[in-house]
Structure 1
Protein backbone atom coordinates (compact mmCIF):
# COMPACT_ATOMS: atom_id res chain seq x y z
CA UNK A 1 0.00 0.00 0.00
CA UNK A 2 1.24 3.48 -0.81
CA UNK A 3 0.43 6.56 1.25
CA UNK A 4 1.29 9.94 -0.27
CA UNK A 5 1.46 12.98 2.01
CA UNK A 6 1.50 16.42 0.33
CA UNK A 7 2.85 18.42 3.27
CA UNK A 8 4.86 15.58 4.76
CA UNK A 9 7.28 17.67 6.82
CA UNK A 10 5.26 20.87 7.34
CA UNK A 11 3.48 20.45 10.66
CA UNK A 12 1.84 23.87 10.28
CA UNK A 13 -0.34 22.55 7.42
CA UNK A 14 -2.84 19.74 6.95
CA UNK A 15 -1.00 16.67 5.69
CA UNK A 16 -3.20 16.14 2.61
CA UNK A 17 -2.72 12.37 2.58
CA UNK A 18 -4.00 10.02 -0.10
CA UNK A 19 -3.91 6.23 -0.31
CA UNK A 20 -3.31 3.75 -3.13
CA UNK A 21 -4.43 0.38 -1.76
CA UNK A 22 -2.80 -2.81 -2.92
CA UNK A 23 -1.31 -5.07 -0.25
CA UNK A 24 -2.90 -4.34 3.12
CA UNK A 25 -0.91 -4.96 6.30
CA UNK A 26 -2.20 -7.49 8.82
CA UNK A 27 -0.69 -5.55 11.73
CA UNK A 28 -0.17 -1.89 12.55
CA UNK A 29 2.31 -0.24 10.18
CA UNK A 30 4.15 2.87 11.41
CA UNK A 31 6.16 5.30 9.28
CA UNK A 32 7.77 8.43 10.72
CA UNK A 33 7.66 11.45 8.42
CA UNK A 34 9.14 13.79 11.03
CA UNK A 35 10.86 12.49 14.16
CA UNK A 36 10.06 14.77 17.06
CA UNK A 37 12.53 15.85 19.71
CA UNK A 38 10.17 16.57 22.61
CA UNK A 39 8.68 14.41 25.34
CA UNK A 40 7.92 10.78 24.42
CA UNK A 41 4.30 9.60 24.64
CA UNK A 42 3.39 6.56 26.74
CA UNK A 43 0.05 4.75 27.08
CA UNK A 44 -0.53 6.33 30.53
CA UNK A 45 -0.29 9.88 29.11
CA UNK A 46 -2.86 12.33 27.84
CA UNK A 47 -1.82 13.64 24.44
CA UNK A 48 -2.72 16.51 22.12
CA UNK A 49 -2.63 15.62 18.43
CA UNK A 50 -3.54 16.91 15.00
CA UNK A 51 -4.65 14.17 12.65
CA UNK A 52 -6.22 13.20 9.36
CA UNK A 53 -8.08 9.88 9.04
CA UNK A 54 -8.63 8.13 5.69
CA UNK A 55 -10.53 4.99 4.72
CA UNK A 56 -8.26 2.80 2.61
CA UNK A 57 -11.10 1.27 0.56
CA UNK A 58 -12.15 4.56 -1.08
CA UNK A 59 -9.35 6.97 -0.03
CA UNK A 60 -12.05 9.08 1.61
CA UNK A 61 -11.26 11.31 4.55
CA UNK A 62 -13.60 10.40 7.40
CA UNK A 63 -12.25 12.75 10.07
CA UNK A 64 -9.64 15.45 10.50
CA UNK A 65 -8.76 17.84 13.30
CA UNK A 66 -7.35 20.05 10.55
CA UNK A 67 -10.77 20.14 8.90
CA UNK A 68 -12.37 21.31 12.14
CA UNK A 69 -10.35 24.50 12.46
CA UNK A 70 -6.92 23.00 13.07
CA UNK A 71 -7.30 22.82 16.84
CA UNK A 72 -5.44 19.88 18.40
CA UNK A 73 -7.55 17.14 19.98
CA UNK A 74 -6.71 15.95 23.50
CA UNK A 75 -7.38 12.47 24.88
CA UNK A 76 -5.97 9.84 27.25
CA UNK A 77 -3.89 7.56 25.04
CA UNK A 78 -5.00 4.48 26.95
CA UNK A 79 -8.66 5.05 25.98
CA UNK A 80 -8.51 5.02 22.18
CA UNK A 81 -8.37 2.34 19.48
CA UNK A 82 -5.32 0.08 19.62
CA UNK A 83 -3.95 1.53 16.38
CA UNK A 84 -3.75 4.97 17.99
CA UNK A 85 -2.59 3.68 21.36
CA UNK A 86 0.22 1.57 19.91
CA UNK A 87 1.00 3.94 17.05
CA UNK A 88 1.39 7.08 19.16
CA UNK A 89 3.18 5.39 22.08
CA UNK A 90 6.89 6.00 21.67
CA UNK A 91 6.33 9.01 19.43
CA UNK A 92 7.94 12.31 20.49
CA UNK A 93 6.39 15.78 20.57
CA UNK A 94 6.96 17.59 17.30
CA UNK A 95 6.73 14.38 15.26
CA UNK A 96 4.49 13.42 12.35
CA UNK A 97 3.71 9.76 11.72
CA UNK A 98 1.66 7.64 9.33
CA UNK A 99 -0.34 4.85 10.97
CA UNK A 100 -1.84 2.14 8.77
CA UNK A 101 -4.39 0.47 11.04
CA UNK A 102 -5.87 -2.95 10.24
CA UNK A 103 -9.47 -3.64 11.32
CA UNK A 104 -8.61 -5.60 14.49
CA UNK A 105 -6.62 -2.60 15.79
CA UNK A 106 -9.24 -0.10 14.63
CA UNK A 107 -13.01 -0.34 14.75
CA UNK A 108 -13.33 -4.04 13.83
CA UNK A 109 -16.52 -5.68 12.57
CA UNK A 110 -18.79 -2.98 14.04
CA UNK A 111 -17.26 -0.01 12.18
CA UNK A 112 -17.94 3.44 13.62
CA UNK A 113 -20.56 6.14 13.34
CA UNK A 114 -21.69 5.32 9.82
CA UNK A 115 -18.45 6.78 8.39
CA UNK A 116 -16.15 3.79 8.97
CA UNK A 117 -17.52 0.56 7.51
CA UNK A 118 -17.06 -2.82 9.21
CA UNK A 119 -13.59 -4.38 8.92
CA UNK A 120 -12.05 -1.24 7.42
CA UNK A 121 -8.33 -0.60 7.07
CA UNK A 122 -7.59 3.00 8.02
CA UNK A 123 -4.73 5.44 7.55
CA UNK A 124 -4.01 8.22 10.01
CA UNK A 125 -1.43 10.95 9.68
CA UNK A 126 -0.78 12.07 13.26
CA UNK A 127 1.16 15.07 14.58
CA UNK A 128 2.05 14.79 18.26
CA UNK A 129 1.67 18.32 19.60
CA UNK A 130 1.94 17.78 23.36
CA UNK A 131 2.29 15.05 25.97
CA UNK A 132 0.69 15.82 29.35
Structure 2
Protein backbone atom coordinates (compact mmCIF):
# COMPACT_ATOMS: atom_id res chain seq x y z
CA UNK A 1 0.00 0.00 0.00
CA UNK A 2 1.11 3.55 -0.71
CA UNK A 3 -0.19 6.75 0.79
CA UNK A 4 -0.09 10.38 -0.24
CA UNK A 5 1.58 12.17 2.67
CA UNK A 6 0.19 15.51 1.53
CA UNK A 7 -3.28 14.18 2.33
CA UNK A 8 -2.47 11.58 4.95
CA UNK A 9 -4.20 13.41 7.79
CA UNK A 10 -7.86 14.37 7.54
CA UNK A 11 -8.97 17.97 8.04
CA UNK A 12 -10.44 17.04 11.41
CA UNK A 13 -7.24 15.33 12.48
CA UNK A 14 -5.15 18.27 11.31
CA UNK A 15 -7.14 20.60 13.51
CA UNK A 16 -6.65 18.31 16.48
CA UNK A 17 -3.03 17.61 15.63
CA UNK A 18 -1.75 21.08 14.95
CA UNK A 19 -4.13 23.59 16.44
CA UNK A 20 -6.03 22.31 19.46
CA UNK A 21 -4.41 23.22 22.73
CA UNK A 22 -1.37 24.91 21.21
CA UNK A 23 -0.25 28.10 22.92
CA UNK A 24 -1.22 31.12 20.89
CA UNK A 25 -2.78 29.05 18.09
CA UNK A 26 -6.04 30.13 16.42
CA UNK A 27 -9.27 28.55 17.62
CA UNK A 28 -10.17 27.12 14.21
CA UNK A 29 -8.19 25.85 11.26
CA UNK A 30 -7.51 28.41 8.49
CA UNK A 31 -9.61 28.03 5.35
CA UNK A 32 -6.73 28.83 2.98
CA UNK A 33 -2.98 28.41 3.00
CA UNK A 34 -1.14 29.24 6.22
CA UNK A 35 0.14 32.65 7.12
CA UNK A 36 3.84 32.59 7.99
CA UNK A 37 3.70 34.26 11.38
CA UNK A 38 6.86 32.71 12.89
CA UNK A 39 4.64 30.89 15.38
CA UNK A 40 4.89 27.25 16.44
CA UNK A 41 1.63 25.41 15.80
CA UNK A 42 2.59 22.31 17.75
CA UNK A 43 6.35 22.21 18.51
CA UNK A 44 6.04 18.48 19.25
CA UNK A 45 8.26 17.05 21.98
CA UNK A 46 10.27 13.80 22.15
CA UNK A 47 9.04 10.73 24.00
CA UNK A 48 9.94 7.12 24.62
CA UNK A 49 8.48 6.01 21.28
CA UNK A 50 10.14 8.56 19.01
CA UNK A 51 13.42 8.22 20.94
CA UNK A 52 13.40 4.45 20.38
CA UNK A 53 13.21 4.70 16.59
CA UNK A 54 16.68 4.34 15.06
CA UNK A 55 18.11 5.84 11.88
CA UNK A 56 20.94 4.08 10.08
CA UNK A 57 22.82 6.22 7.57
CA UNK A 58 21.77 9.68 6.50
CA UNK A 59 20.21 11.60 3.64
CA UNK A 60 18.90 9.49 0.76
CA UNK A 61 20.57 6.40 2.25
CA UNK A 62 18.85 6.64 5.64
CA UNK A 63 17.07 3.53 6.89
CA UNK A 64 14.30 3.87 9.48
CA UNK A 65 13.98 1.02 11.95
CA UNK A 66 10.93 0.85 14.26
CA UNK A 67 11.31 -1.61 17.16
CA UNK A 68 8.43 -4.01 17.68
CA UNK A 69 5.73 -3.32 20.24
CA UNK A 70 6.34 0.41 20.68
CA UNK A 71 3.25 1.92 22.34
CA UNK A 72 2.46 4.83 19.92
CA UNK A 73 0.18 6.47 22.49
CA UNK A 74 0.83 10.12 21.61
CA UNK A 75 2.36 12.22 18.88
CA UNK A 76 6.09 12.57 19.57
CA UNK A 77 9.03 14.12 17.76
CA UNK A 78 12.73 13.49 18.26
CA UNK A 79 15.30 15.72 16.57
CA UNK A 80 17.98 13.43 15.14
CA UNK A 81 20.34 16.16 13.98
CA UNK A 82 20.02 19.91 14.36
CA UNK A 83 20.72 22.13 11.38
CA UNK A 84 22.35 25.54 11.39
CA UNK A 85 19.93 27.53 9.22
CA UNK A 86 17.00 29.78 10.04
CA UNK A 87 14.10 28.23 11.91
CA UNK A 88 11.38 26.64 9.79
CA UNK A 89 7.73 27.67 10.19
CA UNK A 90 4.34 27.07 8.59
CA UNK A 91 4.14 28.91 5.27
CA UNK A 92 7.76 28.23 4.26
CA UNK A 93 8.46 26.56 0.92
CA UNK A 94 11.14 23.93 1.42
CA UNK A 95 12.97 21.17 -0.37
CA UNK A 96 12.57 18.10 1.83
CA UNK A 97 13.98 14.59 1.99
CA UNK A 98 11.59 12.20 3.70
CA UNK A 99 10.28 8.69 4.29
CA UNK A 100 6.84 7.69 5.60
CA UNK A 101 7.00 4.27 7.25
CA UNK A 102 4.38 1.82 8.50
CA UNK A 103 5.16 1.54 12.20
CA UNK A 104 4.07 -2.10 12.39
CA UNK A 105 5.84 -3.50 9.32
CA UNK A 106 8.69 -1.03 8.71
CA UNK A 107 7.43 -0.80 5.11
CA UNK A 108 8.27 2.50 3.40
CA UNK A 109 4.88 3.77 2.25
CA UNK A 110 6.16 6.85 0.46
CA UNK A 111 9.37 8.81 0.10
CA UNK A 112 10.98 11.72 -1.69
CA UNK A 113 13.09 9.30 -3.73
CA UNK A 114 11.08 10.05 -6.87
CA UNK A 115 12.17 13.69 -6.75
CA UNK A 116 15.24 15.09 -8.46
CA UNK A 117 18.22 14.45 -6.19
CA UNK A 118 15.97 12.53 -3.82
CA UNK A 119 14.19 15.66 -2.57
CA UNK A 120 10.75 17.13 -3.23
CA UNK A 121 9.35 20.65 -2.78
CA UNK A 122 6.88 20.98 0.08
CA UNK A 123 4.82 24.00 1.10
CA UNK A 124 4.56 23.92 4.88
CA UNK A 125 0.78 24.11 4.82
CA UNK A 126 -0.86 22.68 7.97
CA UNK A 127 -3.96 21.74 6.01
CA UNK A 128 -2.35 19.59 3.31
CA UNK A 129 1.24 18.94 4.40
CA UNK A 130 0.61 18.52 8.10
CA UNK A 131 3.01 15.60 8.52
CA UNK A 132 5.93 17.79 7.53
CA UNK A 133 4.78 20.80 9.53
CA UNK A 134 4.63 18.62 12.63
CA UNK A 135 8.02 17.06 11.87
CA UNK A 136 10.06 20.15 10.94
CA UNK A 137 8.48 23.32 12.33
CA UNK A 138 10.38 25.47 14.82
CA UNK A 139 13.71 23.73 14.09
CA UNK A 140 16.66 25.13 12.13
CA UNK A 141 16.89 24.48 8.40
CA UNK A 142 19.02 21.41 7.82
CA UNK A 143 17.57 19.51 10.78
CA UNK A 144 16.37 15.92 10.59
CA UNK A 145 13.51 14.66 12.71
CA UNK A 146 11.60 11.48 13.53
CA UNK A 147 7.86 11.90 14.06
CA UNK A 148 5.83 9.14 15.71
CA UNK A 149 2.16 9.37 14.70
CA UNK A 150 -0.31 7.08 16.50
CA UNK A 151 -3.26 5.73 14.54
CA UNK A 152 -5.59 7.49 16.99
CA UNK A 153 -4.34 10.87 15.74
CA UNK A 154 -4.70 10.00 12.07
CA UNK A 155 -8.30 8.84 12.42
CA UNK A 156 -10.42 7.10 9.83
CA UNK A 157 -11.16 3.43 9.27
CA UNK A 158 -8.06 1.31 8.94
CA UNK A 159 -5.72 4.03 10.17
CA UNK A 160 -2.26 2.82 11.05
CA UNK A 161 0.50 4.27 13.17
CA UNK A 162 3.18 5.98 11.09
CA UNK A 163 6.73 7.15 11.43
CA UNK A 164 7.92 10.14 9.42
CA UNK A 165 11.63 10.71 8.92
CA UNK A 166 12.14 14.18 7.44
CA UNK A 167 15.02 16.48 6.64
CA UNK A 168 14.64 20.14 5.68
CA UNK A 169 17.25 20.51 2.94
CA UNK A 170 16.75 24.11 1.80
CA UNK A 171 14.35 27.01 1.38
CA UNK A 172 12.95 27.66 -2.09
CA UNK A 173 12.08 31.02 -3.71
CA UNK A 174 8.56 32.30 -3.13
CA UNK A 175 8.56 34.52 -6.22
CA UNK A 176 9.30 33.74 -9.87
CA UNK A 177 13.01 33.54 -10.62
CA UNK A 178 13.01 33.19 -14.41
CA UNK A 179 14.47 35.33 -17.19
CA UNK A 180 12.24 38.32 -18.11
CA UNK A 181 10.43 38.09 -21.44
CA UNK A 182 9.22 41.04 -23.53
CA UNK A 183 5.50 41.69 -22.90
CA UNK A 184 2.97 40.61 -25.50
CA UNK A 185 1.09 43.26 -27.46
CA UNK A 186 -2.55 43.82 -26.53
CA UNK A 187 -2.28 42.13 -23.15
CA UNK A 188 -2.51 43.75 -19.70
CA UNK A 189 0.72 45.25 -18.38
CA UNK A 190 2.34 43.98 -15.20
CA UNK A 191 4.57 45.90 -12.82
CA UNK A 192 6.29 44.23 -9.88
CA UNK A 193 7.03 45.92 -6.57
CA UNK A 194 10.24 45.37 -4.59
CA UNK A 195 8.81 42.17 -3.07
CA UNK A 196 7.70 40.75 -6.42
CA UNK A 197 3.99 41.45 -5.99
CA UNK A 198 2.35 42.29 -9.35
CA UNK A 199 0.14 45.23 -10.24
CA UNK A 200 -2.01 44.44 -13.28
CA UNK A 201 -3.23 47.23 -15.56
CA UNK A 202 -5.91 46.46 -18.17
CA UNK A 203 -5.27 48.25 -21.51
CA UNK A 204 -7.76 51.10 -21.71
CA UNK A 205 -10.59 50.83 -24.20
CA UNK A 206 -9.80 47.28 -25.31
CA UNK A 207 -11.93 44.17 -25.46
CA UNK A 208 -10.75 40.98 -23.81
CA UNK A 209 -9.37 38.24 -26.08
CA UNK A 210 -11.97 36.06 -27.78
CA UNK A 211 -9.93 33.01 -26.79
CA UNK A 212 -7.91 32.37 -23.66
CA UNK A 213 -4.34 33.64 -24.04
CA UNK A 214 -1.32 32.58 -21.99
CA UNK A 215 1.82 34.71 -22.27
CA UNK A 216 5.21 34.35 -20.62
CA UNK A 217 6.51 37.16 -18.40
CA UNK A 218 9.49 35.28 -16.95
CA UNK A 219 10.88 32.06 -18.39
CA UNK A 220 11.91 29.55 -15.74
CA UNK A 221 14.20 26.58 -16.18
CA UNK A 222 12.88 24.18 -13.52
CA UNK A 223 10.75 21.07 -13.72
CA UNK A 224 7.83 21.12 -16.17
CA UNK A 225 4.31 21.09 -14.74
CA UNK A 226 2.49 17.95 -15.83
CA UNK A 227 -1.29 17.40 -15.88
CA UNK A 228 -2.57 16.72 -12.37
CA UNK A 229 0.63 17.84 -10.63
CA UNK A 230 0.50 19.45 -7.22
CA UNK A 231 1.78 22.99 -7.83
CA UNK A 232 2.83 25.78 -5.49
CA UNK A 233 2.15 29.28 -6.80
CA UNK A 234 1.78 32.94 -6.01
CA UNK A 235 -0.98 34.63 -7.98
CA UNK A 236 -3.14 37.72 -8.39
CA UNK A 237 -6.42 37.79 -10.29
CA UNK A 238 -8.37 40.80 -11.59
CA UNK A 239 -11.45 41.30 -13.77
CA UNK A 240 -10.85 42.60 -17.28
CA UNK A 241 -14.03 44.68 -17.05
CA UNK A 242 -12.81 47.01 -14.30
CA UNK A 243 -9.36 45.83 -13.21
CA UNK A 244 -10.68 45.01 -9.72
CA UNK A 245 -8.84 42.31 -7.79
CA UNK A 246 -11.02 39.36 -6.76
CA UNK A 247 -8.42 36.94 -5.41
CA UNK A 248 -4.71 36.97 -4.61
CA UNK A 249 -2.19 35.03 -2.59
CA UNK A 250 -0.32 38.33 -2.26
CA UNK A 251 -3.22 39.71 -0.25
CA UNK A 252 -2.81 36.89 2.28
CA UNK A 253 0.54 38.15 3.55
CA UNK A 254 2.24 36.91 0.37
CA UNK A 255 1.86 33.27 1.39
CA UNK A 256 2.03 30.83 -1.53
CA UNK A 257 -0.78 28.37 -2.09
CA UNK A 258 -0.91 24.85 -3.51
CA UNK A 259 -3.40 22.73 -5.43
CA UNK A 260 -3.54 20.18 -8.22
CA UNK A 261 -3.85 21.50 -11.74
CA UNK A 262 -7.06 19.53 -12.24
CA UNK A 263 -8.71 21.25 -9.27
CA UNK A 264 -8.93 24.75 -10.75
CA UNK A 265 -10.84 26.43 -13.58
CA UNK A 266 -9.70 25.50 -17.07
CA UNK A 267 -8.04 28.86 -17.78
CA UNK A 268 -5.81 28.51 -14.73
CA UNK A 269 -4.97 24.94 -15.72
CA UNK A 270 -3.96 26.13 -19.19
CA UNK A 271 -1.67 28.71 -17.60
CA UNK A 272 0.18 26.04 -15.60
CA UNK A 273 0.49 22.76 -17.46
CA UNK A 274 3.53 22.64 -19.73
CA UNK A 275 5.23 25.59 -17.99
CA UNK A 276 8.48 25.34 -16.04
CA UNK A 277 9.08 26.10 -12.38
CA UNK A 278 10.51 29.59 -11.93
CA UNK A 279 8.27 31.01 -14.65
CA UNK A 280 5.80 33.85 -14.32
CA UNK A 281 2.85 33.71 -16.69
CA UNK A 282 0.03 36.07 -17.61
CA UNK A 283 -3.28 34.53 -18.58
CA UNK A 284 -6.36 36.31 -19.92
CA UNK A 285 -9.20 33.80 -19.81
CA UNK A 286 -12.63 33.86 -21.36
CA UNK A 287 -15.73 33.34 -19.20
CA UNK A 288 -16.02 29.83 -20.64
CA UNK A 289 -12.56 28.98 -19.27
CA UNK A 290 -13.31 30.78 -16.02
CA UNK A 291 -16.59 30.68 -14.10
CA UNK A 292 -19.00 30.38 -17.00
CA UNK A 293 -21.02 32.71 -19.15
CA UNK A 294 -23.24 35.50 -17.86
CA UNK A 295 -26.29 34.27 -15.99
CA UNK A 296 -24.47 31.60 -14.04
CA UNK A 297 -24.60 31.24 -10.28
CA UNK A 298 -20.99 32.28 -9.55
CA UNK A 299 -20.33 35.96 -8.81
CA UNK A 300 -17.66 35.93 -11.56
CA UNK A 301 -19.93 34.37 -14.20
CA UNK A 302 -19.66 36.31 -17.45
CA UNK A 303 -16.35 37.93 -16.50
CA UNK A 304 -13.13 37.68 -18.49
CA UNK A 305 -10.37 37.21 -15.92
CA UNK A 306 -6.67 38.04 -15.82
CA UNK A 307 -4.14 36.26 -13.62
CA UNK A 308 -0.43 36.71 -13.04
CA UNK A 309 0.99 33.43 -11.72
CA UNK A 310 4.44 32.70 -10.29
CA UNK A 311 5.10 28.96 -10.60
CA UNK A 312 7.22 27.99 -7.61
CA UNK A 313 7.16 24.20 -7.41
CA UNK A 314 5.55 21.14 -8.93
CA UNK A 315 5.22 17.57 -7.65
CA UNK A 316 3.66 14.53 -9.32
CA UNK A 317 0.83 13.19 -7.22
CA UNK A 318 0.80 9.43 -6.83
CA UNK A 319 -2.63 7.84 -6.44
CA UNK A 320 -3.31 6.01 -3.23
CA UNK A 321 -3.08 2.25 -3.62
Does structure 1 retain, via aligned residues, the 8 Å contact 2:214–2:270? Answer: no
Instruction: Output the CA distance in 1 between the equivalents of 2:207 and 2:226.
Output: 30
Structure 1 residue ranges (4+ consecutive) displaced by more than 6 angstroms after TM superposition: none
Residue 241 of structure 2 corresponds to residue 67 of structure 1: no
Going by fraction, where is strand more abundant, 1 or 2?
1
Matched, 1:33 2:236: no
Gaps of 5+ in 1: none
> What is the deviation of 1:26?
1.9
Displacement after TM superposition at 1:111 (Å):
5.7
Q: Deviations over 1:59-81 (max 9, x none)?
A: 10111101111111100101110
Displacement of 1:2 in angstroms is 3.5
CA distance in 2, matches of 1:49, 1:83: 15
Whole-Å Cα distance in 1 between the matches of residues 267 and 240 of structure 2?
14
Structure whose alpha-carbon radius of gyration is higher: 2
Residue correspondences, number: 127
Query: Contact between 1:52 and 1:65, CA under 8 Å: does it hold in 2?
Result: yes
Is contact 1:4–1:17 with CA below 8 Å preserved after alignment? Answer: yes
Identify which of 259, 282, 286 aligns with 1:98: 282
3-state secondary structure, aligned to 1:86: helix
Indicate yes or no: 2:303 matched with 1:120: yes
- 1:2-50 Cα offsets, whole Å, 9 max, x none, are 4111129x7x411111112513212210110101110110122010110
In 1: Cα distance, 2:256 partner to 2:265 partner: 18
TM-score by length of 1: 0.89
* Root mean square deviation of aligned Cα: 1.7
